[in-house]
Structure formats: structure tokens, C-alpha cells
A and B are shown apart, each in its own frame.
Chain A
Amino acid sequence: MLWACLRFPGLAFSAAFAATPEAGPSALLDHKARQRLIAATNAEASSLGVRRGQSLAAARALCPALEVRPRDPDAEERLLTELAAWCYQFSGHVSLVPPNALLMEVGASLRLFDGWPVLAERLRSGLVGQGHAHTLAATPFAAASWVFAASADGMVLPDHEGVRRMLGALPLAQSGLPVATVTSLQAMGFRRLAEVIRLPRPELTRRIGREGVNWLDRVQGHASDVLPAWQPPASFRQKIEFDAELDGSQPLLFPLRRLTRSLANLLAARDGGVQRFTLALEHARGETTHVVVAMAAPQRDAERLFELARTRLERASLPAPARAIELEAAELPVFRPPVRDLFEPVRGDGLDWPTLDERLRARLGDAALRQIALVADHRPEYASRYGKPTDTVSSPRQRRPLWLLRRPQPMRPEPAAVLAGPERIESGWWDGGDTRRDYYIVRTAQGQHAWAYLPPGTLDGWMLHGWFA
């Protein structure tokens, strides 16, 4: 077993500033403290002297332009879950350690990912790409990984004795023991963890309590950790609420990118795709605009999902500024990557049909792309319809025109010659669309061949119905 621990020091910050990117000095307020204390700051704010634990008034005095948001524990949990979904592609056992850490068992994945250095690099570059600051450590004991992720970023220790040695050298403050225990131990004169571990067990229990001893056992791998394995959910629903109303589609793109990336992370975890999702934009007075994004085949690529959603969103007309955006995907079908012939040369843009189909649909609308199906019906208007073609219907034996007029129209001037006919078509009494016509193939004065009909028993009143184009 090799447990990798990822800690995200900036998670609370990212979660609170999910809707709009922070601009300028910003800080986060602790939601629990009675006094309003600064819980985290961005680089700009800390360069101006704003520190963690300061009161809001002091911070405002240092930096009047400071933008402050309260912590949002729900959003933090969602973000952590989202990161778990992303990590799930590297390990079958991912466990959430609130508020801001993840543990994953990577021992079983090492061979698949060509060893730890490659895997670590993929984890890091993926997280940097998503804009998450993180620290990483891996040891055979989950608790120890969690401790080292905080104190020794990048550390990997595969052997048990090495871990115990390194733990011994840790200052007490970094041991993961509760702050109160650490303070009392320091008061007794202990400095390093090794000194505490060396104590006899009854003595140790008396000093740091059963909880503390239990923790030390887990860190050293003497007691096993029970870590609930995270399971990817079967559907996706995520909402970002804005502080201010956003007008037009342009400002919505930033939260939209976040949502589609989050969806893509879940899809990667599930090894699934998405074929249809809905964007719901909430306006004032409870109004909601729904934008449906549908694809020809399941997709999972974050960039493509974003592009498709963006095209649809830009085409949609929003009646009012939006207050929140929600992305919902009820079904996450199995994703089958496109198969390309190895020996077929890639032509042009090298798109496959589903991609082209989506691109066209995104710009022209769903109704613009159609297929033509043959229907077993004697009436000319019903023998062809728009829809998915099947190959079960056989074509009629008589000659039929390639072009059919949308509606028969009087033929002027009258045909110059009759080439074939009449063919009596009499059908449809059962569904009210009763038809009784004599069809002829005729030639006009310009030499056009047309499909025209007369009501039975008459010789004028030619109706043009098609062209033999």
C-alpha cells in the first residue's frame, strides 16, 4: 500500500471565489469566529501586510481596497468532491479528508502509470492546469502521508522504518496532534516526536490521552486507518451563485468553464461521457432560462464541452441578467472513444461525423440537420419523411421524381406532352387523408420532365407535384 495525500491550502479561497475571479487584494473571513477574523489571503493581500488571524478592521486599515468574502463550507466540500472525482482516474480508492485534503491509494496504480515520478508529475500538472495550489506526499501509512503533505511537500517514503525515522525527527507542532496536546507536551519539555514516542505506553496515555496515542499509532502504521472510499455519483448537478447579477453571455463564460471542467472531472472518474446537459440561468423574480446542450455522441473532453456549451449559450437570448448558473446532467452514458482506421490518411480537419454534426447543430440549430426516410405508403406525400432511415422499406417499382414540391401547385402553362401515365393513386381512406389522383409523367415546353396529376376523369386542372431533375 502506498497512500498519497494531496492537500489544497487554497481550497477555501477557490471555493469562495468560484463565481468571479478575484481581482486585487482579497481575503477570506472565518465563518465560525465571533469576531470577524481573516482566514486566508491571496498573494496581493499578503504583500500589503494582511495576515491570517487579523481582525477585519485591522486588515481594512492596512488595505482599504480589500475584497472580503465569508468562507463557504458547502462550496468547499463540493470542490473537494470534484477534486476527488478528478483523482479517481488515478486510483480506485480515493478518500476525502475534510476540509482540504484527499488521500488516495496509489500502490496498485504505480505500474499502470509508470511509477511514482510519472504519476506525481501527472497529478501535479493536472492540478496546476486547473489552478489548484497543492502539496503532495506519499508513504505506506495514510495518516503519515497526511502529516508529511503539510510539512514536507513532494516527500515519498516507501519503507516503513524510514517513515518512522522521519516522523521521529518532526517538531511536535507538525505532528498532527491537537493544538492543546502539543502545547502541554511542549510545556513538559518535549520538542520532537521521537521523544514522545519513546515514552512507555501507560505513561503516554496518561499524558496525551487515548485519542493522542491512537493518532500516534496510526501515524506510525501500528494501527490501521479506516478510510471510506469515495464513489462517483451517477449524475451531475452543480450551481454557482453570483454576488452580482451578470448581464449578457460574456461574463457567464468564467463560471461556465468551471462547471464544464467539473463535469469533465466527474466523467473522467466514471469513465463515462455526457450526451445531453442543461444549463439553467436564474434571473430575478424566480425566472429561469434553460439552455439544452445535446450532442450526437457522448463526449467527455472539458474543452469541447465548454465550446459546445458556449456556442449554445451565446445563441440563447437571455431576458434578464443572471444571478446563478446551474449545470445539470441527469444521464452519464458510457463513453466510447472514436475509433479511427490506422491506415486511413487523415483528411482536411480530420473530424469525425459526430463532431461535424455537433458543430453544424450548434450553429444552425437541431432542426436544420435532417435525414430522409422512406415510408411504405402509396400516397406520394407520405412515402418520404424527415426522420431516421431504416432499410426495411423497399422502394416502389414505378418511376418517381427526385424532387417533390412541398405542396402540389397548379401547373402553368399546361404540359406540352404526356410521356407516361396515368397511374391511379387511390389510398388513405382510413386516416382521413383520402387521395384519388391520376399521375402522369409530362414534358413542358422547355423540355422539363415533371410529375403531375389530374383528378380522375378530367382532362384539365393539372397539378404539378414533382420534377424529374
Chain B
Amino acid sequence: MNAIASPTLAQVLDHPGIWRRSADRQPRVRALATGWTSLDAKLPGGGWPQGALSEILYEHDGLGELDLVMPALAALTQEHRRVIFVAPPYLPYAPALAAAGVDLRFLHEIHAGSTEAAWSMEQCLRSGCCGAVVGWLPDIDYRSLRRLQLAAESGDACAMLFRSAEHAAQNSPAALRLKVSNSDEATYVDVLKSRGLLTTTAPLLRMRA
């Protein structure tokens, strides 16, 4: 018998076109650890997907939505990779940033109107010299989201976009969508969509009591 003519079952299953649902064969997603163990465990690759757009949809300011990304950003700046804040809604406060472990020398803020903000975010992502680009673009449309996703892929940067939770029902090209909400005086994180994740009904994560 010819070995090439009759491949073993394992060889067949190795074919990239064949998808198997099994826990030990997670699709390979390169990711940046979020620093939150319970969240890492829920995400494919164990963190924020690299070279992709992540959306964080939050109900109100001050639910701990920024805390979610801070450990990853702090780790990037400590590796001397640049982190860019595009059009933040408030003043990023240096004492808290420093306390979170951010090396302020590698944090930049871009102050821009909504169209310029989308452009700047895309330029930063595409450039290939930024570790993560975090943007607050409340009225971004699907086309611009798609552009950001492509820019993140091309520059292999981590794109994080903060938007209001009202957009949760809308379609989005983002690789990961998280919803940050509050009930019973605690903050919960819900994984709405995640590329490579099998169950979309992951239990809510309780982040802050």
C-alpha cells in the first residue's frame, strides 16, 4: 500500500480546512495577556488578540472599563512599546497611570475631532511602530471599523476601541467584543463575540464588587 495514497487519520485531521471541536486544539490566536486571570481563561489565545480590533462596549463611565485594558498597556510600555490614546473623553490622569505601572514616556495622546481621530488611529495602527492604539470614537461607522481592523492586521498592532453599550446590537468586524455592565453594585464583563471562541454564551465575569 502506498503511504501517500492512504494518509493516517491524524494527517487528515491536520488539514487546515478541517475543523474539530475539541478543547485541546484551540485555534492559534496570538494574544496579549489582559492581566485578568479569569478573563484570560475565557479568551482564545489567552488575552487581547494581536493584530486585530477589540471593542469594549460600556454602559457608563467609571465601571472599571479602562481597568480592563490597563495591565496589558502597562506591560507594553514597560517593554518600551508605544501606546497611543486617541481622543480620550477625559484627561488621562498621570498619578493613576503611573500607579497602574504605565511608563509614561511611551504613552502618547492624540487630541482630534471624530474624522481626524479615525484617521490618526488608522495611521498609528498601520505604521507598525505602535504596540497598542486605544481609541474613543463614539460615532464610528461599520466601514471605518473595518478599516481599523485591516490596519491592525497590517501593522500587527493591538487596536482597542471604546464605545457605548448601545452599539452592542449592531454588527461589527471586530475580532473581540466585550460588554462591560453593572448590576447589583458589581461590574460584569460579557464576551459578546470572539473570533475562535466556540461558545458565545460564556458566563458573565464578575470584575469589581
- Interface, chain A (partner B; CB < 8 A): 346-353, 355-356, 359-360, 363-364, 367-375, 383-386, 389, 391, 393-396, 399-406, 417, 443-444, 446-450, 466-469
Contact = CB atoms under 8 A, between A and B. Distances in A.
B64 A373 contact: no
B62 A448 contact: yes
B181 to A, nearest CB: 9
A463 B172 CA distance: 37
Nearest to B85: A372
B105 A391 contact: yes
Contact of B93 (A346, A359, A404): A404
A443 to B, nearest CB: 7
A390 B110 CA distance: 19
A58 to B, nearest CB: 59
Contacts of B94: 372-375, 383-385, 389, 395
Interface in B72-101: 82, 88-100
B60 interface: yes
Contacts of B97: 372, 402
B157 A348 contact: yes
Contacts of B65: 469
Interface string B104-140: 1101111110001001100111111110000000000
A399 B129 CA distance: 32
Interface of B: 59-67, 70, 82, 88-100, 103-105, 107-112, 116, 119-120, 123-130, 151, 154-157, 182-183, 185-187, 208
Contact of A404 (B66, B90, B112, B128): B90
Contacts of B120: 360, 363-364
B128 A469 contact: no
Contacts of B157: 347-348
Nearest to A417: B185
B104 A368 contact: no
The binding surface of chain B is classed by DSSP as mixed
A451 to B, nearest CB: 9
28 contacts: A347-B154, A347-B156, A351-B129, A359-B123, A360-B124, A368-B111, A369-B109, A369-B110, A370-B109, A370-B111, A371-B109, A372-B94, A389-B94, A389-B105, A394-B98, A400-B99, A402-B70, A403-B61, A403-B66, A403-B88, A404-B91, A444-B62, A446-B182, A447-B187, A450-B62, A467-B90, A469-B66, A469-B90
A465 to B, nearest CB: 10
> Would you list the 5 A-B pairs with minimal beta carbon distance, nearest first?
A348-B155, A348-B128, A447-B182, A347-B128, A448-B62
A372 B90 contact: no
A231 to B, nearest CB: 38
A352 B76 CA distance: 17
A1 B15 CA distance: 69
A353 B82 contact: yes
A404 B109 CA distance: 14
Given A352-B129, A405-B91, A468-B67, 17 more contacts: A347-B154, A347-B156, A348-B125, A350-B128, A356-B130, A359-B123, A370-B110, A371-B107, A372-B94, A384-B91, A384-B93, A389-B104, A400-B99, A444-B60, A469-B61, A469-B64, A469-B65
A385 B94 CA distance: 8
